[in-house]
Amino acid sequence: FRSRNFKTHKHAARKCDWLVCWEHDWHDAPRSLRIIELKKFFGVGFKVWIQPAIVSQQSYLDSGNKLDWGLSKRASAGDLLLMYRCSPTKTIEDVFILDGPLRRRKAGWRSGDCYGGIIKRVCKLKSPIFLDDMRQHPVLKTASFVRRNFQGNLQVSEYWFYLHEMILNRNPSLKKKLSRFDPEKFSA
């Protein structure tokens, strides 16, 4: 199912030329191993994440349209990132896409390594989505990411329909920009 299972199951990469999987998430796989990700052939190309940005990181979100950002090691190229600005605003104001593969690197905000990649801005929400809006939404208020105050890297693909609807209701001019991320096209 996932390419990293090859390593988890302790298969020998030197005895293999090709690996076929549904989702390629083994970001430090040997270059000699050719990996085919099937979900791309079926038009299922992205997951949706809420990526918290603490106060010290928020100015970077305003500084450019391409950024190097620390992400979940389960993220894949083409995934959609809803950037959640933690206190004081508690809003989703920015939508980015992971614009290439992840790579292991030194973490900039803590000791040790992390996974990171280049993210590219899809759009900025003129009318942001507030934490309080999600707490009042009939479905989103029960979501673990809302109840846990957006702690960690949160895959929210199963809630993308509601988030997408909320974003477009507040920002109808973004319908065309977000059309390629229609909820019917995501990978859960």
Closest CA to 156 of 77, 52, 70: 52
Position 160 confidence tier, pLDDT thresholds 50, 70, 90: very high
* Three-state DSSP state, 172: helix
pLDDT band at residue 141 using 50, 70 and 90 as cut-offs: very high
Nearest 5°: phi and psi at 187?
-110, 115
Q: With 90 as the cut, is the pLDDT of residue 177 above it?
A: yes
Q: Mean pLDDT, to the nearest integer, of 173-181?
A: 93
Query: Does the pLDDT value for residue 116 go beyond 70?
Result: yes
d(CA 29, CA 26): 5
User: What tens digit of pLDDT does each residue of 57-111 get?
Assistant: 899 999 889 999 989 888 888 899 999 999 899 999 999 999 988 888 887 767 8
**How much is the pLDDT for 188?**
46
Name which residue leads in pLDDT, 97 or 2. 97
Distance from C-alpha of 146 to C-alpha of 184, rounded to nearest angstrom: 23
Query: Cα(116)–Cα(91) distance, rounded to whole angstroms?
Result: 22
